[in-house]
Amino acid sequence: MASLGNDLRLREILRTDRRYAVEAYSLVSAALRRLQRRRGRRAHVSGRDLVRGVVELALERYGNLARLVLEKWGIYRSEDIGEVVFNLVKAGILSTSPEDSKEDFRGHPAFTVVFDKAPIEW
């Protein structure tokens, strides 16, 4: 998300959808890049893996305050991560495969459980 074109696209997202703070988009993008780096290539990342990656990165960065930080940015549940991802897709910043959908981000453990009662079984 570092190019000028992407910055302009992100500004447009923030103007039209005020549910999520710019930091939410940055965190999701950072988690995605991190997962791809671990795989050694720009590979497809499933919704489930991305939710786990966001949670892991948030816990590393913000510790016990992770849930509160994400809530301040508008991310209350895994479905919000899907909304962020698909906003980035709609803006042309990210891409998906044909089988990807917002449904991939549903049904994951509640953030109150994930952040407040770790460790959690995925």
Q: Digits of tens for pLDDT over the chain (122 positions)?
A: 456 678 899 999 999 999 999 999 999 999 999 999 998 877 789 999 999 999 999 999 999 899 999 999 999 999 999 999 999 999 999 999 999 999 999 989 888 888 876 555 55
CA distance 43 to 58: 22
In-domain check, residue 121: no
Structure tokens belonging to residue 103 = 């449904």
Can you give the length of the chain in residues? 122
In-domain check, residue 93: yes
Phi-psi region of 92 (alpha: psi -120 to 50; beta: other; left: phi over 0): left
The structural domain count of the chain equals 1
CA distance 1 to 9: 9
> What is the domain extent for residue 11?
4-116
pTM for the complete prediction? 0.88
Closest CA to 111 of 69, 60, 98: 69
